[in-house]
Amino acid sequence: MHPGEILDYLDVDMAYFLGLLVARGSINEASGVKRITIEFPFRSMYAEGINKTFNQRDQIIIGLQDPIKRINELTDVQINQNITENTVYLTIETLKNTIFWRNVKMLLQGKTSYYEFSIPREIVEADEKIKVEFMR
Protein backbone atom coordinates (compact mmCIF):
# COMPACT_ATOMS: atom_id res chain seq x y z
CA MET A 1 0.00 0.00 0.00
CA HIS A 2 1.24 3.47 -0.84
CA PRO A 3 0.81 6.39 1.61
CA GLY A 4 -2.53 8.13 1.10
CA GLU A 5 -4.07 5.17 -0.75
CA ILE A 6 -7.56 4.35 0.51
CA LEU A 7 -8.30 0.67 0.28
CA ASP A 8 -11.74 -0.73 -0.49
CA TYR A 9 -12.16 -1.89 3.08
CA LEU A 10 -11.09 1.38 4.71
CA ASP A 11 -13.47 4.28 4.30
CA VAL A 12 -14.46 7.05 6.72
CA ASP A 13 -17.10 4.88 8.42
CA MET A 14 -14.68 2.01 8.98
CA ALA A 15 -12.05 4.47 10.25
CA TYR A 16 -14.57 5.91 12.74
CA PHE A 17 -15.51 2.43 13.94
CA LEU A 18 -11.85 1.40 14.26
CA GLY A 19 -11.20 4.50 16.36
CA LEU A 20 -13.91 3.43 18.81
CA LEU A 21 -12.64 -0.12 18.86
CA VAL A 22 -8.96 0.74 19.35
CA ALA A 23 -9.84 3.17 22.15
CA ARG A 24 -12.06 0.88 24.29
CA GLY A 25 -13.07 -2.22 22.37
CA SER A 26 -12.59 -5.94 22.20
CA ILE A 27 -13.30 -8.65 19.67
CA ASN A 28 -13.72 -12.36 20.22
CA GLU A 29 -15.14 -15.47 18.68
CA ALA A 30 -16.50 -18.40 20.64
CA SER A 31 -18.77 -21.25 19.54
CA GLY A 32 -19.21 -19.59 16.17
CA VAL A 33 -20.44 -16.31 17.66
CA LYS A 34 -18.42 -13.31 16.57
CA ARG A 35 -18.65 -10.50 19.11
CA ILE A 36 -17.36 -6.93 19.18
CA THR A 37 -17.81 -4.91 22.35
CA ILE A 38 -17.03 -1.24 22.88
CA GLU A 39 -17.20 0.19 26.37
CA PHE A 40 -17.97 3.75 27.42
CA PRO A 41 -17.09 4.09 31.11
CA PHE A 42 -18.40 6.93 33.26
CA ARG A 43 -18.60 7.93 36.88
CA SER A 44 -20.28 10.61 38.88
CA MET A 45 -18.03 13.58 39.09
CA TYR A 46 -17.99 16.46 41.50
CA ALA A 47 -16.35 19.77 40.76
CA GLU A 48 -15.81 22.08 43.71
CA GLY A 49 -17.40 25.49 43.18
CA ILE A 50 -19.83 24.36 40.47
CA ASN A 51 -23.46 24.15 41.50
CA LYS A 52 -24.76 22.40 38.38
CA THR A 53 -25.54 18.73 38.28
CA PHE A 54 -24.47 16.67 35.33
CA ASN A 55 -25.67 13.14 34.75
CA GLN A 56 -22.77 11.72 32.76
CA ARG A 57 -24.52 8.36 32.29
CA ASP A 58 -27.56 9.92 30.62
CA GLN A 59 -25.40 12.21 28.49
CA ILE A 60 -23.35 9.25 27.24
CA ILE A 61 -26.51 7.27 26.43
CA ILE A 62 -27.97 10.21 24.50
CA GLY A 63 -24.66 10.88 22.77
CA LEU A 64 -24.39 7.27 21.59
CA GLN A 65 -27.50 7.39 19.40
CA ASP A 66 -25.70 8.76 16.33
CA PRO A 67 -22.69 6.42 16.68
CA ILE A 68 -25.06 3.46 17.09
CA LYS A 69 -26.88 4.43 13.91
CA ARG A 70 -23.59 4.85 12.05
CA ILE A 71 -22.22 1.51 13.28
CA ASN A 72 -25.48 -0.24 12.41
CA GLU A 73 -25.30 1.04 8.84
CA LEU A 74 -21.69 -0.10 8.55
CA THR A 75 -22.20 -3.57 10.02
CA ASP A 76 -25.83 -4.22 9.07
CA VAL A 77 -26.12 -5.91 12.46
CA GLN A 78 -28.26 -4.88 15.43
CA ILE A 79 -26.23 -3.17 18.14
CA ASN A 80 -27.09 -4.17 21.70
CA GLN A 81 -26.69 -1.62 24.47
CA ASN A 82 -25.99 -2.85 28.00
CA ILE A 83 -25.95 -0.23 30.74
CA THR A 84 -24.30 -1.02 34.06
CA GLU A 85 -23.59 1.14 37.07
CA ASN A 86 -20.38 2.60 35.60
CA THR A 87 -20.28 1.66 31.91
CA VAL A 88 -22.34 1.56 28.75
CA TYR A 89 -21.41 -1.37 26.52
CA LEU A 90 -22.22 -1.54 22.82
CA THR A 91 -22.12 -5.11 21.55
CA ILE A 92 -22.33 -6.45 18.02
CA GLU A 93 -22.90 -10.17 17.60
CA THR A 94 -23.16 -12.25 14.47
CA LEU A 95 -22.80 -15.84 13.36
CA LYS A 96 -21.73 -14.80 9.87
CA ASN A 97 -18.11 -14.54 8.78
CA THR A 98 -18.76 -11.29 6.93
CA ILE A 99 -16.33 -9.15 5.00
CA PHE A 100 -16.75 -6.58 7.78
CA TRP A 101 -15.65 -9.11 10.43
CA ARG A 102 -12.68 -10.29 8.36
CA ASN A 103 -11.59 -6.70 7.67
CA VAL A 104 -11.70 -5.78 11.35
CA LYS A 105 -9.61 -8.82 12.27
CA MET A 106 -7.11 -8.05 9.50
CA LEU A 107 -6.77 -4.37 10.41
CA LEU A 108 -6.24 -5.23 14.08
CA GLN A 109 -3.68 -7.91 13.19
CA GLY A 110 -5.29 -10.64 15.25
CA LYS A 111 -5.22 -8.64 18.48
CA THR A 112 -8.38 -8.81 20.56
CA SER A 113 -8.48 -5.97 23.10
CA TYR A 114 -7.80 -2.27 23.43
CA TYR A 115 -5.11 -3.27 25.92
CA GLU A 116 -3.08 -4.56 23.00
CA PHE A 117 -4.47 -2.70 19.96
CA SER A 118 -2.38 -0.10 18.21
CA ILE A 119 -3.28 2.33 15.46
CA PRO A 120 -3.43 0.27 12.27
CA ARG A 121 -0.75 1.04 9.70
CA GLU A 122 -3.53 1.62 7.15
CA ILE A 123 -4.84 4.52 9.27
CA VAL A 124 -1.38 6.04 9.68
CA GLU A 125 -0.81 5.92 5.92
CA ALA A 126 -4.32 7.06 4.94
CA ASP A 127 -5.42 10.51 3.87
CA GLU A 128 -6.56 13.21 6.27
CA LYS A 129 -10.29 12.36 6.13
CA ILE A 130 -9.61 8.82 7.32
CA LYS A 131 -7.35 10.01 10.14
CA VAL A 132 -9.92 12.58 11.31
CA GLU A 133 -12.71 9.96 11.44
CA PHE A 134 -10.46 7.54 13.31
CA MET A 135 -9.77 10.19 15.96
CA ARG A 136 -13.41 11.33 16.15
Q: What percent of the chain has pLDDT over 90?
A: 64
Domains defined for the chain, CATH in brackets? 12-135 (3.10.28.10)
Which residues are within 8 A (CB) of 63 and not within 5 positions of it... i.e. 6 or more apart?
Answer: none
**What average pLDDT is seen over the chain?**
87
> Would you place residue 8 in the very low, low, confident or very high pLDDT band (cuts 50, 70, 90)?
low
Gap between the Cα atoms of 34 and 7, Å rounded: 24
Q: What is the pTM of this model?
A: 0.83
Q: What is the mean pLDDT of residues 98-125?
A: 93
